[in-house]
């Protein structure tokens, strides 16, 4: 049987673009790709990139405060011009979108700027009714924000909307305690919005190391976010051009904008999966094996739609490995263990790789090396923010099982710490590394004694001096 393409990719985001480009440019495959919105997907257009630029912009009040402590006694913030920033952001995203499109075109990928769905195991139907056949189909459609399921939630905004605002809200509510909620609370607060964040748990960033979660919760409060833990919105209603939110303690408050950052779900609705027999998991993700192959052999899936680890570098690696395996004759699986990540809060970020202290305790004996200190940079101007560096070490093998950093530029630091940890480094390897002085990161190679030892078999924990 002859096909129009060797590969048809649905979705021009992180995973889809990488797979299409590698299959076409490195392995000479005939590739088609459909994108219903802007090329580049969530990360480039409404995720990592605009978010990080906004985090940079939102740092100004903290910097001014810090610099006053360094002798710039009159350092004051002027006016933040959202319109100027927003226009510039628009140009930058268009530049990136163009670069993604050009990269694909240069690789020989045929792009269809429209929605696509599956018609059968080898056929894709485009929104204009055209049918395209392909030997292999890659589903790379990503995810969409999930709403909390409360009455009136249609009045709320989602993360995509932050990047489209004509003006910044004077008073905003953010619902959630995950990556997006904490980053958005930091951004809005830093840009001058009176920001309330409600989270149902007792510390933000569930799933991260408990000590770091507590520091993150404290930091949000310290920078001025009105963080309310154990709080749940139950209903919303419109009041003029604002939104009244009712909470489970019978209180209610009015906001100019309410953002739901209550998770994301795989975007499989209307994708025609029923025409193929591609199986879904219980959470509605496309079920794949270790090769990203679905229950239908000609159909593969990568990225957020498979709900494995929903991060850009993971989607890219999955897309690349798929292309190497299927078109390059180089079978490559993706290792989903030990994936580092960072939450871009201010002034301190949270960087994390490997097991948390709680997970390590659960797994077996663990020595906890932890340094909690006021870094030189913030101690001098008299700021109270503290940095945490934590290494979790298996006392039997000396292997470093996890690393957690809460501090300035923790995202940059954890990227580097992730290299030796991925290679299987021991605590002795860290200790053998000469420190770079004076840095905050030098603590990672100078922690001599464990702060705690957990020995689960005896349920004993010893606190060291």
Contacts with ligand NAD by CB under 6 A lie at: 148-149, 175-181, 183, 199-200, 206, 261-264, 310-311, 341-344
Name the binder of 115 from ligand FAD, ligand NAD, none, CB < 5-8 A by kind.
ligand FAD
Per-residue mark of binding to ligand FAD, 12-51 (x: CB under 6 A): xxxxx-----------------xxxx---xxx---xx--x
52 is in an annotated binding site: yes
Write out the binding residues for ligand FAD, residues 155-194 only, by CB under 6 A: 159, 180
Six-digit token string for 430: 């860290």
Per-residue mark of binding to ligand FAD, 254-293 (x: CB under 6 A): -------------x---x----------------------
Six-digit token string for 394: 């298996």
Q: Which residue among 5, 6, 11, 413 contacts ligand FAD (CB under 6 A)?
A: 11
417 is in an annotated binding site: no
Q: How far is the CB of 178 from ligand FAD (least distance, A)?
A: 10
Q: How far is the CB of 268 from ligand FAD (least distance, A)?
A: 9
Name the binder of 354 from ligand FAD, ligand NAD, none, CB < 5-8 A by kind.
none
For residues 280 and 263, is the Cβ–Cβ distance under 8 A? no
- Closer residue to ligand FAD, CB minimum distance, 136 or 377: 136
- Closer residue to ligand NAD, CB minimum distance, 288 or 447: 288
Q: How far is the CB of 458 from ligand FAD (least distance, A)?
A: 40
90 is in an annotated binding site: no
What is the SS3 assignment for the chain? CCCCEEEEEECCCHHHHHHHHHHHHHCCCCEEEECCCCCCHHHHHHCHHHHHHHHHHHCHHHHHHHHHCCCCCCCCCCCCCHHHHHHHHHHHHHHHHHHHHHHHHHHCCEEECCCEEEEECCEEEECCCCEEEEEEEEECCCEEECCCCCCCHHHCECHHHHCCCCCCCCEEEEECCCHHHHHHHHHHHHCCCEEEEEECCCCCCCCCCHHHHHHHHHHHHHCCCEEEECCCEEEEEEECCEEEEEECCCCEEEECEEEECCCEEECCCCCCHHHCCCCECCCCCECCCCCCECCCCCEEECHHHHCCCCCHHHHHHHHHHHHHHHHCCCCCCCCCCCCCEEECCCCCEEEEEECCHHHHHHHCCEEEEEEEECCHHHHCCCCCCCEEEEEEECCCCCEEEEEEEEECCHHHHHHHHHHHHHHCCEHHHHHHCCCCCCCCHHHHHCCCCCCEEEEHHHCEEEECC
176 is in an annotated binding site: yes
Q: In what order do the strands lie in the sheet with 194-199?
A: 226-229, 194-199, 171-175, 257-260
Q: How far is the CB of 147 from ligand FAD (least distance, A)?
A: 14
Write out the binding residues for ligand FAD, residues 388-447 only, by CB under 6 A: none
**Nearest position to ligand FAD, beta carbon:** 13
Name the binder of 16 from ligand NAD, ligand FAD, none, CB < 5-8 A by kind.
ligand FAD
Name the binder of 368 from ligand FAD, ligand NAD, none, CB < 5-8 A by kind.
none
Reply yes or no on whether 437 is catalytic.
yes
Per-residue mark of binding to ligand FAD, 294-333 (x: CB under 6 A): ---------xxx----xxxx-x------------------
Name the binder of 175 from ligand FAD, ligand NAD, none, CB < 5-8 A by kind.
ligand NAD
Per-residue mark of binding to ligand FAD, 80-119 (x: CB under 6 A): -----------------------------------xxx--
Residue carrying structure tokens 């006053």? 68
Q: How far is the CB of 396 from ligand FAD (least distance, A)?
A: 33
Question: Which of 3, 19, 1, 2 lies closest to 11, judged by CA?
Answer: 19
179 is in an annotated binding site: yes
Of residues 113, 320, 437, 454, which has the active-site annotation? 437
Question: Which of 28, 36, 29 lies closest to 8, judged by CA?
Answer: 29
- Closer residue to ligand FAD, CB minimum distance, 47 or 177: 47
Binding residues for NAD(+): 176-183, 263
Task: Kindly list the residues in this chain that would bind ligand FAD in the complex (CB under 6 A).
Answer: 10-16, 34-37, 41-43, 47-48, 51, 115-117, 140-142, 159, 180, 267, 271, 303-305, 310-313, 315
Q: Binding site for FAD: what residues are annotated?
A: 52, 304
Which residues are annotated binding-site positions?
52, 176-183, 263, 304
Q: Which residues are catalytic?
A: 437
């Amino acid at each position: 049987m002859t096909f129009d393409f060797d590969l048809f990719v649905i979705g021009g985001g992180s995973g889809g673009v990488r797979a299409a480009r590698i299959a076409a440019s490195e392995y000479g495959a005939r590739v088609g790709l459909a994108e219903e919105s802007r090329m580049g997907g969530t990360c480039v257009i409404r995720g990592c990139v605009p978010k990080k630029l906004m985090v940079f912009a939102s740092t100004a009040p903290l910097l001014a405060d810090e610099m006053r402590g360094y002798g710039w006694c009159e350092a004051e913030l002027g006016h933040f011009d959202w319109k100027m920033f927003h226009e510039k952001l628009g140009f930058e995203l268009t530049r990136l979108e163009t670069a993604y499109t050009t990269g694909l075109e240069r690789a020989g990928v045929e792009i269809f700027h429209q929605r696509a769905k599956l018609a059968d195991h080898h056929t894709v139907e485009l929104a204009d009714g055209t049918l395209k056949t392909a030997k292999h189909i890659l589903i790379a459609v990503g995810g969409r924000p999930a709403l909390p399921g409360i009455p009136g939630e249609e009045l709320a905004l989602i993360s995509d909307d932050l990047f489209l605002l004509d003006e910044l809200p004077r008073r905003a509510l953010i619902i959630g305690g995950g990556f997006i909620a904490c980053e958005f609370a930091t951004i809005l607060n830093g840009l001058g919005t009176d920001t309330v964040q409600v989270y149902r748990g007792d510390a933000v960033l569930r799933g991260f190391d408990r000590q770091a979660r507590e520091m993150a919760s404290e930091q949000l409060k310290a920078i001025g976010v009105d963080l309310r833990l154990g709080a749940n919105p139950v209903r919303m209603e419109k009041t003029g051009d604002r939104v009244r939110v009712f909470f489970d303690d019978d209180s209610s408050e009015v906001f100019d904008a309410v953002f739901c950052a209550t998770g994301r779900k795989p975007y499989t609705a209307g994708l025609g999966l029923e025409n193929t027999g591609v199986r879904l998991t219980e959470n509605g993700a496309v079920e794949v094996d270790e090769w990203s192959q679905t229950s239908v052999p000609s159909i593969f899936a990568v990225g957020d739609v498979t709900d494995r680890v929903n991060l850009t570098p993971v989607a890219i690696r999955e897309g690349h490995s798929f292309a190497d395996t299927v078109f390059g004759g180089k079978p490559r699986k993706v290792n989903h263990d030990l994936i580092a990540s960072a939450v871009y809060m201010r002034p301190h970020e949270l960087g994390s790789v490997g097991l948390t202290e709680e997970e390590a305790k659960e797994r077996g004996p663990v020595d906890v090396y932890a340094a909690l200190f006021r870094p030189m940079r913030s101690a001098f101007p008299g700021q109270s923010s503290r940095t945490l560096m934590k290494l979790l070490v298996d006392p039997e093998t000396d292997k470093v099982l996890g690393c957690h950093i809460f501090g300035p530029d923790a995202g940059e630091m954890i990227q580097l710490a992730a290299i030796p940890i991925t290679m299987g480094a021991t605590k002795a390897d860290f200790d053998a590394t000469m420190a770079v002085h004076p840095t905050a990161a030098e603590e990672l190679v100078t922690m001599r004694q464990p702060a705690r030892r957990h020995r689960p078999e005896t349920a004993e924990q010893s606190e060291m001096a």
